[in-house]
């Protein structure tokens, strides 16, 4: 009974809001379901929200997700979780997540949540400092320092050339003609 | 690069790099490894004289701050590398580089030369990079948004879409020179990115274009609601 009445109230409130803002809301674009950076790898899907996890309320069994707009999503014990140890209530904030959802009574329920796994380069494409030191010694690779010039001025791996990552496309001509030559890229981690 | 430095492996820089570094007023310690006699006859301005023959016993002449940015040079690259190896044995110094081509190369590019007495030990006070704003002042500006300041976020659009400072404007670093029209001339431009690296680039571009500007040289993370956290390495 209690549940019914609260649903009624929210329905009334929702109708009232709709009456007030309905014409405005209709003129606006629908709320995005996918955060722009996610769309680089994932196609938009009507049944999936992709974005960054906001706050979670364990008591109310809801969390918010930012897809460029903020969505409030309900979950419960039956919500499946992939890519992170359960429970859902303990997911860290700002995780990039995909939510497969269903709509019930105007509310959004998460059927399953999957957490984005950290991007990994294939292991055979990553080298260590000893490997690079050996290339420096033998001179059999082109070493490319991807940092901005200001950082390159302050010291670099011997023999490295500087092509700042953001300008890379403009400097393709600096790469060796021989496409079989090994290229080793490095930077300073995040910028 | 951090892994390379931590492993104590050799880093070098070109003579032109040192010229640029001095021009940009980036804090730099220059060490001349030649004999005192030779160094006095002509050396890179501001250099400290520590002859390689005395280097093994010169640990005390080096700064306590292991991140101190030191450039070693001698006549040529090879002898400066020997010095680099001696210092590597002490361990810990992470920002030591060897000047490629040494003093000979410096002369070839007509680098400035000073003569006469030189200091014989390094005196080092870490100082902010040119244009660096303190974290406290940055925070005060982000909170109060004074009318004479303009916060410019130079991260990529995708990063900014995940959360920006309230009232800030996003123009990615590489687009800044193309979009000066969007940046007011009558305000001081306070630039930030994620770590300070790109902000510094944009700072130089803005400064060269005649803007009054400073940048945040620290890690700043902004959440979708505009709340932020600043940490310094």
- Give pLDDT tens digits for A4-52: 444 444 444 444 444 444 445 455 678 899 988 788 788 899 999 999 8
Mind telling me how many Å the CA of B42 is from chain A's nearest CA?
23
Residues A29-57: b if buried by 16+ CB within 10 A, e if exposed: eeebbbbbbbeeeeeeeeebbbbbbbebe
Question: Considering the domain boundaries, does residue A85 fall inside one?
Answer: yes
> Which runs of E-coded beta strand occur in chain A?
48-57, 62-66, 70-74, 80-82, 96-104, 107-115, 141-145, 161-162, 182-186
Of A71-85, B26-40, B201-215, the one with minimum mean pLDDT is A71-85
| Residue pair B99/A153 in contact by the 8 Å Cβ criterion | no
For A20, the domain range is 1-30
Q: How much is the pTM?
A: 0.71
C-alpha triplet A44, A50, A53: angle, nearest 5°: 170
Judged by CB atoms within 8 Å, which residues 142-161 of A form the interface with B?
145, 147-158
- Name the strands in the sheet holding B149-153, side by side, starting at the edge strand that comes first in the sequence: B132-133, B213-216, B188-192, B149-153, B169-170
The two structure tokens encoding residue B141: 């500006």
Mind telling me how many Å the CA of A5 is from chain B's nearest CA?
32
DSSP at A156: B
| Residue pair A30/A38 in contact by the 8 Å Cβ criterion | no
Number of domains chain A is built from: 3
Q: Are strands A107-115 and A96-104 parallel, antiparallel or unpaired?
A: antiparallel
Q: What is the mean pLDDT of residues A180-188?
A: 93
CA distance A24 to A36: 24
Region of residue B134 (left: phi > 0; alpha: psi -120 to 50; beta: else): beta
> Which residues from A are below 8 Å from B26, CB to CB?
150, 153-154
Question: Considering the domain boundaries, does residue A191 fall inside one?
Answer: no
Asked whether residue B26 carries a pLDDT value surpassing 80, the answer given is yes
**Mean pLDDT over the full length of chain A:** 84
Answer yes or no: do A47 and A111 share one domain: yes
The enclosing domain of A51 has a CATH number of 2.40.50.320
> Which residues from B are below 8 Å from A66, CB to CB?
162, 224
Answer yes or no: do A82 and A129 share one domain: no
**CB within 8 Å: A36 and B69:** no
Residue B45: closest CA among B107, B94, B114, B98? B114
| Residue pair B11/A158 in contact by the 8 Å Cβ criterion | yes
CB atoms within 10 A of CB B103: 25
Q: What is the mean pLDDT of residues A1-6?
A: 46
CATH pick for B132-231 out of 3.40.250.10, 1.10.357.10, 3.40.50.1000, 3.40.50.2020: 3.40.250.10
B2-108 CATH? 3.40.250.10
State the virtual CA torsion across B123, B107, A158, B46 in degrees, nearest 10. 10
pLDDT in tens, A150-161: 889 999 999 999
Region of residue B201 (left: phi > 0; alpha: psi -120 to 50; beta: else): alpha
């Amino acid at each position: 009974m209690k549940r019914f009445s609260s649903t009624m109230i929210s329905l009334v409130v929702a109708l009232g809001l709709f009456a007030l803002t309905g014409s405005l809301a209709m003129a606006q674009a629908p709320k995005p379901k996918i955060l722009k950076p996610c769309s680089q790898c994932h196609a938009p899907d009507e049944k999936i929200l992709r974005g960054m996890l906001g706050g979670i309320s364990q008591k109310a069994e809801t969390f918010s997700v930012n897809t460029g707009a903020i969505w409030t999503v309900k979950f419960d014990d039956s919500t499946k979780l992939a890519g992170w140890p359960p429970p859902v209530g303990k997911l860290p904030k700002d995780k990039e997540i995909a939510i497969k959802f269903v709509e019930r009574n105007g509310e959004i329920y998460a059927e399953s949540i999957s957490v984005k796994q950290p991007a990994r380069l294939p292991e055979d494409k990553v080298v260590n400092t000893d490997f690079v030191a050996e290339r420096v010694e033998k001179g059999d690779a082109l070493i490319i320092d991807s940092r901005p010039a200001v950082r390159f001025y302050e010291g670099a791996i011997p023999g490295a050339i500087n092509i700042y990552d953001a300008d890379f496309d403009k400097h393709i001509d600096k790469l060796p003609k021989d496409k079989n030559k090994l290229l080793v890229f490095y930077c300073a981690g995040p910028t | 690069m951090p892994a390379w430095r931590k492993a104590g492996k050799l880093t070098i820089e070109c003579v032109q790099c040192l010229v640029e570094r001095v021009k940009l007023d980036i804090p730099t310690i220059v060490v001349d490894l030649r004999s005192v006699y030779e160094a006095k006859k002509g050396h890179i301005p501001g250099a400290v004289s520590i002859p390689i023959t005395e280097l093994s016993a010169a640990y005390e002449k080096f700064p306590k701050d292991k991140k101190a940015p030191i450039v070693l040079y001698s006549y040529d690259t090879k002898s400066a590398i020997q010095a680099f190896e001696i210092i590597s044995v002490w361990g810990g110094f992470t920002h030591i580089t060897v000047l490629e081509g040494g003093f000979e190369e410096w002369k070839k590019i007509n680098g400035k030369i000073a003569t006469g007495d030189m200091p014989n030990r390094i005196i080092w006070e870490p100082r902010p990079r040119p244009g660096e704003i303190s974290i406290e002042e940055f925070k005060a500006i982000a909170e109060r948004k004074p009318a004479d300041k303009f916060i410019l976020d130079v991260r990529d659009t995708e990063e900014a879409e995940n959360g920006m400072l309230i009232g800030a404007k996003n123009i990615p670093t590489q687009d800044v020179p193309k979009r000066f029209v969007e940046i007011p001339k009558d305000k001081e431009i306070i630039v930030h990115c994620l770590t300070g690296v790109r902000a510094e680039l944009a700072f130089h571009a803005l400064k060269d274009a005649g803007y009054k500007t400073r940048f945040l040289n620290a890690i700043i993370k902004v959440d979708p609601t505009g709340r932020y956290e600043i940490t310094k390495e």
